[in-house]
Structure 1
Amino acid sequence: MTVDVTGRDAAASGQDVVLVAEPLLPQRIRRPADALRFLLTLVILGAVVLLAMAMQSTLTGLEIDVRAGTGRTPDVLSVLAGLVGDAAVLVVPVAFAVERVFHRDGMRVTQGLLAAILALVISYSLDEWLLSSSGPDELRRLLTVGREIEPLNTVLTAAIAYATAVRMWRRPRWRALMWAALGLDVLALFTASKATALGVILTYLVGQAVGFGTLYGIGSANTRPPGTAVLAALRKLGFVPVSARRMDDDSSGSRRYLVGLADGRWLDVAVLDRDRQAAGILYRLWRGIRLNSETRRRAIRSLRAELEREALMAYAAQAAGARLPRLLGTSEIGTEAALLAYEHIDTRPVDKLDDSEITDELLRQMWEQVLLLHRHRLAHRHLTGESIHVDREGRVVLVDARSGEIAAGDLLLMLDVAQLLAYLATRVGAERAVRSAEAVLGADRLAQALPMLQPIALSREIRTALKKRKDLLSAIREQIVALKPQVEVEEVRLERFRPQTLITVIVSALAAYLLLTQLSQVNLASILTHANWAWGGVAAVAAFFSYVAAAIMLRGFVPEHLPLTRTVMAQFAGSFVKLVAPTAVGAVAINTRFLQKRGIPPGVAVACVGASQLIGLGSHIMLLLLFGYLTGTQAAPSLYPSRGLLVTLLSIAVLLLVVLAVPPVRRFVSTRVREMFAGVIPRLLDVLQSPRKIIEGVSGTLLLTLAFVVCLYSCVRAFGGDVGFAAVAVVFLAGNAIGSAAPTPGGLGAVEASLSLGLTVAGLPGTIATSAVLLFRVMTFWLPALPGWASLTYLQRHNDL
């Protein structure tokens, strides 16, 4: 839609009306900053509640101090504060509403009233819940201190929500009046013993959360300057625009205009809107926390800082001689936006080119532009197909340097090289991408960028493309190594932590909390003194024998000879690795490495370990069904299987039918299984040619499972538990499966919880089940760590690992 509006400056100077072709700006927009404030307020609210629950004595002391301090207030002042505060909390919002109505801003008042009503409903509902029998007793006691008062003050909650929703805090005079009214009212509530310190804090946070939530849900008035305001700002810079039209937003979400000037030139104008500064803030915060300080960007900048950053990068790139659109001027547009005016160059992004149009000459130009930037220590940081353009003469032009860095360190420069290598490889293949880079940058510089070829270092667009071609980064590395076979590259860790690490920490913390909760209900001294440690000795022997069984199992699936002693030591070494890695991952890695050191090729070693894992999985399932059947027949003399076993079989059947019936699921599962057990079947066929190896592998698999079951059964008997061997076997097999799937080291937390729950369901008292599981984990997880470390050190010293 074309908007025909005459700018005020144009009218004053007698200039002709300029038509700005742009869609009508929406009257209301949802600001990302409001969503961020809403989420942040909820986080603070939750943190305050948890802190109050954890520090109840401190909070009680604070409440006593507050009551003692406000109790000294003279009665006259207390009564006056109550009268004035109660009236002001109602009068100030009404006065603000009247002022806004006179300024024809009734929508803001309506939004504030909606927030106030919503806050009333929420605070009233929370009060009723907290005061009811279903509410948490400790929190109710902290909020009311045993008095007949509102946990959350409904009037204050509504007033704060209203003030937040109408953005009263941005008006200094009204903000001061509102704070004075709230302060007087809170003082009156304290002197009358009608509020607590925690209640006032939660009232304020709930009111703010409702206000910000209403702001984001309904939206705020759009204060973005229209195209006519952009033209007015350009006139102040000395330009004479005669036409303008809105273009597609850039990759950062900034508005773009193509403006024609009276002298025949064209301008590309980028508009930075203040309300867009917080867009994508959660992703940037996550990256900032996850990546090290050298690679991360600031999560959010002020409008002024963003303007200065882009302008400085543009001027520095021009001075370096790089081919970027020339920056001709910058200006703020009121208080809500700023613009950057660039010379217009008719170009096409490389993303829009066919792969056949990306010639060797074009690749060379791309790397030459990067080299010009890097010689002046400038990092572009967004070298993708949408920021690399080609003009009509076939010359490369770099755009979108807003995220760039001046005086960049070597790490950022290497990231540029890695990012462009990865992008070009998705378009022209790894070989051409590396060859074109080597022709301009040289093999040494490419080798320096080798550690940066990590998915975390690349942009989201490139990571998405690489998911479809998972071998591409490896192909790039191989091409670079072929150029510099003797290159010594130091590993560069870009991540502070991995998401799996965060999950492990959270799950471990939860497991520790559950474990400590269980231990608080157990009298350890009494249990330890009354335990039958003869059964504890049996458990220790069974735990040790499990490592011998694991070694026998591995030997059975390797046609080559393996010494039993060192194979057992390798299994102990795996127990030490389990302290920092999930159970299955640590065992597979150690065994594969051990086989490679014994002279077995890597592919064959992986196949051998995969074969043992596959047979172990089948044995696990068969034993689970067998012991489940035995458990069912022990409960009843009938030969029919138990209901639990029937439910398990039916569930497995349904799961298989779903996998086979849904094509995407079927393809996903088949691909995963094929990748996991590639080469396993031929290796199994080799093993089947030797009856001795078959007996050794199968017997080792069965003995390994039985050793763990005997260990757990002995731990149960050590504490006086009376549960059948078959029931303990079912509990172990099910709990071990859960532990293997858990991402925590050694299944920590998941194994304890599942085994304790299983033994309790099997009929053991909770204290005995918890004690037995703790002893079992000490025998099989914690105690083997020390001999595991010694075995790992010994095998590494003798080049066996």
Structure 2
Amino acid sequence: MADISERNDTADLEDQDPAVDAARREPDVYVVEPLLPQRLRRPSDLLRFMATLLVIGAVILLSLVAKQTLNGLAGDVQEGASLVPNLLSRVASFLGGGAILVVPVAFAVERVFHRDGLRVAEGLIAAIIGLVGAFLIGEWVTSTEGVADLRQLLTGNRPGVEPLNSLLTSTIAYCTAVRISRRPTWRALMWTVVALYVLSLFTGKQITLPSAMLTVLTGMAIGYATLYGIGSPNTRPPGNAVIAALRRLNFTPITARRVEDDHQGSRRYAVGLKDGSSLDVTVLDRDRQVAGLPYRLWRRIRLNSETRRRAIRSLRAELEREALMAYAAQAAGASTPRLLGTSEVGTEAALLAYEHLQTRPLDALADSEITDDLLAQIWEQVELLRMQRLAHRRLMGDSIHVDRDGRVVLTDARSGEIAAGDLLLRLDIVQLLTYLGLRVGAQRSVVAASRVVGPDQLASAMPLLQRIALTRETRSALAKNKGLLGEIREQIQALKPEVTVEEIRLERFRPRTLVTIIASTLAAYFLLSQLSQVNIVTVVTTANWAWSLLALAASAVSFVAAALMLRGFVPEPLPLWRTILVQFASSFVKLVTPPAIGGVAINTRYLQKRGIPPALAVASVGASQLIMLIAHIALLLLFAYITGSSTPTSFTPQRGLVLALLGVAVAMVVMLGVPRIRRMLTKRLRSLFSNVLPRLLDVLQSPLKMLEALSGTVMITIAFVICLDACVSAFGGKIDFTTVAVVFLTANAIGSAAPTPGGLGAVEVALSAGLTVAGVPAELATSSVLLYRLLTFWLPVLPGWAAFTYLQKHAAL
């Protein structure tokens, strides 16, 4: 983490920085800028704190998982420490115990002599917090019954041993807060002393290996948290230091004022020179190099290697990168502000001085001012960069400017890449196509691009028309025009009808995939915990076979019912047997998709293969899902009412049902009172009625189709309820059919919302909890649910795979 931090002390900066000295000697230029804050909360301190917390969590998790191995390792370390000669052990204990206090005190004296007593005060605050924090954590670990494993790892169950050594925690917190790690000599001395002190603690059996690691990490976390909480001295050079650096570049500034920071938060100054010309100066501050680091790390992990940028760069690397791109763009003949000079500004900043051009950003122009000639100029400038293998990587309204004569000027060279690959060059085309499409429409954007770069280049870029390929600002703008990328694809295909679109995967994974993996892991954990309570062989062998066969028959009927439901919502004729096979195939697909997605995708694909247009296929499946949802809610209310009326003592009281409905009504009123939510719902309902309602009207014209759709919809639910009820009865459970229906309908809603494949984990937990609440013993409820899921989820997988393969072979999917 040291590579992303500031490197020198404030006192050293004041004593040794030539830029500051020069600024003091030549204070003749008054820089108009707001006062710089005396202290800053540096992002690097926050990132270090968060990283240390993650390491602490990983150490605790690994320690608990590998407890036996760690205990054996700790025993080996203790045995090795006991073999140290007694004299050497005493010397180490004396030196470590004394030096652990002497070294921090000596460093404090040295800082005070350098007039940096404030830093020592910060360290003392961190030391006090570390001492108190170690004591409180120790008290919690030793007095809490639920953390016995952690207590054993941290103390070895030896009396008088602190879970976290208070002295070591406070010392590490102090050293972190005073940034002793930036002084190589002091750093080496401090860690040597810490090692000796830990060795003496091991010899005296006063610490364990996990305790030693967590003590050091906790001290570091407290030190970083203290630094971020109270802030660090501001080491950014002020405006007069920037002026002094410009003088060293042989410029003669006479006026200077700070203007708005750029999109990366870098300071910018407008500087007037003696000869009447002007400079645009960009200042790169070292403490800003880690700003936005979490987002850059996320993009680096998520995207494929060729599209990624380095998440962390040193100040020198950032300066060289921007300067090199600026010079390369000038050599390519592109219209860009000329880079006139670069310089360090002391040790904490660097500057780039560009010639000043009177321009306006494209964002400041009205859409009506963006003419076809201006569009052509923009593409010509991008083509000049592309011919020299230069990728701009931020072609947006704030980096495309227009001067007084109407000529296009490209700015913001810092994001660019030299010697760029084909992928990055095509990404530039995609980004500019999309941005201009947002301003002037897809047709004008594509036509203007084709006249300059040619249809072939546009066709090669078409597979990259993905949201993830665009800048963050452009992705946000697309939220208001979600169909733009599709319109751009259609315009390109109109220019090149014969083009074959090859899929290019830019993402290593999607956030939805990550959520599914995490949810599946948790579901597997809960499922395994359930399986550990029962024996699967016993579940299968002890179940009543008559009831089990009834449950199996009900499970099979559900596939027929699903086929009837789909046929009922499609006016066109569908063969019953093949439609049943499609429903079996969807059970195979549910192994890798959430339950609400797999079936919809399979059915839609099947209808398209039957010659039904995509829009009508989606509308038919959407209509079936809508009616299924309405039927689900209606049956839930009906069975809940029946259950509440017949058994008013426990499961779902009728009064509770009324209160629940009133609560839902109040929540809907509140949500509809929020304009943003109301607009979203209105938009969704409008699209629903524009597509699904006409399809439902087509179905209503045929009484036979209506009967088929409604019977199939009701049969699905009834079949699953019968299956669950038979599974409960197979183990001797006694429960009303209506109560089973309420349990199933509730659990099914939870499972449909779960992101895990087939609702795995969520359905099991919901069904088991519901049956237990209804009065079924916990072990019996678990066995019933496992048999139910075996018959409805796992058993149909094999015939589902066979059906999926058969349908693909016969071009039905």
Q: TM-score, structure 2 length as denominator?
A: 0.94
State how many pairs are aligned: 795
Q: Which amino acid aligns with 1:188?
A: S
Aligned counterpart, 1:666: 678
* 2:543 is aligned with 1:552: no
Which amino acid letter does the alignment assign opposite residue 238 of structure 1?
Answer: N
Aligned to 1:305: 317
1:261 to 250, 273, 276: 273
Structure 1 residue 791 corresponds to structure 2 residue 803: yes
Q: Which amino acid aligns with 1:167?
A: R
Q: 1:333 aligns with which of 317, 340, 345?
A: 345
1:499 maps to 511
Q: In structure 2, which of residues 60, 65, 79 is the aligned counterpart of residue 54 of structure 1? A: 65
Aligned with residue 708 of structure 2, among 696, 718, 730: 696
For 1:701-740, list aligned pairs within 5 A.
701-740=713-752
Corresponding position: 1:192 with 2:204: yes
SS of the aligned residue for 1:720 comes to coil
Distance 2:142 2:574 in 1: 70
Q: 1:725 to 1:639 in 2, by over 3 A?
A: closer
In the alignment, is the contact (CA less than 8 A) between 1:633 and 1:639 conserved in 2?
Answer: no
Counterpart secondary structure, 1:73: coil
Alignment counterpart, residue 86 of structure 1, candidates 72, 85, 97: 97
Write the distance in 1 (CA, Å) between the matches of 2:337 and 2:444.
Answer: 28
Give the structure 2 partner of residue 347 of structure 1: 359
Q: Distance in 2 between matches of 1:630 and 1:672?
A: 34
CA 1:497–1:10: 2 relative to 1, 3 Å: closer
Say whether 1:283 aligns with 2:295.
Answer: yes
Equivalent residue number for residue 120 of structure 1: 131
The equivalent of 1:67 in structure 2 is 78
**In the aligned structure 2, how far is the partner of 1:529 from the partner of 1:352?**
76
User: CA shift at 1:327, angstroms?
Assistant: 1.6
Determine the structure 1 residue equivalent to 2:37.
Answer: 26
**Corresponding residue for residue 157 of structure 2:** 146
Secondary structure at the aligned position of 2:258 is classed as strand
8 Å contact kept, 2:127–2:173: yes
Deviation at 1:580, TM superposition (A): 2.2
Provide, for residues 614-665 of structure 1, a one-character-per-residue CA deviation record: whole Å limited to 9, x for no partner. Answer: 2211211121122222322342499995344334333333333334444433
Q: Distance in 1 between matches of 2:634 and 2:720?
A: 16
Q: Given that residues 611 and 677 in structure 1 are in contact (C-alpha distance below 8 angstroms), is that contact kept between their aligned partners in structure 2?
A: no
RMSD, matched Cα: 2.1
Deviation of 1:6 (Å): 10
Q: Tell whether the 8 Å contact from 1:6 to 1:18 is kept in structure 2 after alignment.
A: no
Write the mapping of 1:585-664 to structure 2, written as runs, cut at 5 A: 585-636=597-648, 642-664=654-676
Change (3 A) 1:239 1:264: same
* 1:369 aligns to 2:391 (yes or no): no
Judge conservation of contact 1:379–1:413 (CA < 8 Å) in 2. yes
Contact 1:659–1:669 (CA under 8 A) maintained in structure 2: no
* Correspondence for 1:77: 88
Q: Would you say 1:37 and 2:48 are equivalent positions? A: yes
Deviation at 1:156, TM superposition (A): 0.8
Distance 1:345 1:640, change over 3 A: closer
Which digits, 9 at most, give the CA deviation of each residue in 1:124-154, with x for residues without a partner?
1111110013441100011111102100011
Aligned partners of 2:808, 2:585: CA distance in 1, in Å?
10
Spell out the pairing of 1:219-618 with structure 2 (5 A cutoff). Answer: 219-618=231-630
- Structure 1 CA distance for aligned equivalents of residues 652 and 768 of structure 2: 28
| 1-structure distance, mates of 2:609, 2:674 | 43
CA contact (8 A) 1:6 1:17 kept: no
Q: Alpha-carbon deviation of 1:726?
A: 1.9
**Distance change (3 Å), C-alpha of 1:655 and 1:243:** closer
Distance 1:403 1:698 in 2: 58
Comparing 340-349 and 38-47, the one that deviates more? 340-349
Which has the larger displacement, 51-60 or 17-26?
17-26
- CA gap of 1:326–1:664, structure 2 versus 1, over 3 A, is closer
Q: Quick one: distance in 2 between partners of 1:736 and 1:687?
A: 27
The equivalent residue for 2:109 is 98
Between the aligned partners of 2:462 and 2:197, the Cα distance in structure 1 is 64
Once the two structures are superposed, the pairs formed by residues 150-229 of structure 1 within 5 Å of their partners are 150-229=162-241
Q: 1: CA distance between counterparts of 2:273 and 2:700?
A: 83
Whole-angstrom distance in 2 between the partners of 1:736 and 1:651: 21
CA distance in 1 between counterparts of 2:544 and 2:27 reads: 100
Cα distance per residue 1:752-776 (max 9 Å; x no partner):
2211221222222333222322222
Aligned partners of 1:160 and 1:208 also within 8 Å:
yes
1:133-192 per-position Cα deviation (integer Å, ceiling 9, x unaligned) = 344110001111110210001111111111101101111222122212212221221111
Change (3 A) 1:467 1:592: same
Give 1:11 shift.
7.6
Deviation at 1:211, TM superposition (A): 0.7
For residues 761 and 685 of structure 1, what CA distance do their matches in structure 2 show? 42
Residue 687 of structure 2 corresponds to 675
Task: Indicate whether 1:777 and 2:795 are aligned.
Answer: no
Do the aligned residues in 2 keep the contact of 1:119 with 1:207 (CA within 8 Å)? Answer: yes
Deviates more, 1:314-323 or 1:196-205: 314-323
- Greater shift, 194-203 or 81-90, is seen at 81-90
The question of whether the paired residues in 1 share the 8 Å contact of 2:639 and 2:742 is answered with yes
Contact 1:610/1:677, CA 8 A, preserved across alignment: no
Asked if structure 1 preserves the Cα contact closer than 8 Å seen for 2:609 and 2:811, the reply is yes
Question: Any idea what SS the aligned residue of 1:104 has?
Answer: coil
Distance 2:375 2:688 in 1: 38
- Residues 175-223 of structure 1: CA deviation (Å, up to 9, x unaligned): 1222122122212211111111111100011111111111111111111
Distance 2:410 2:54 in 1: 41
Equivalent in the alignment of 1:107 = 118
Shift of 1:103: 2.0
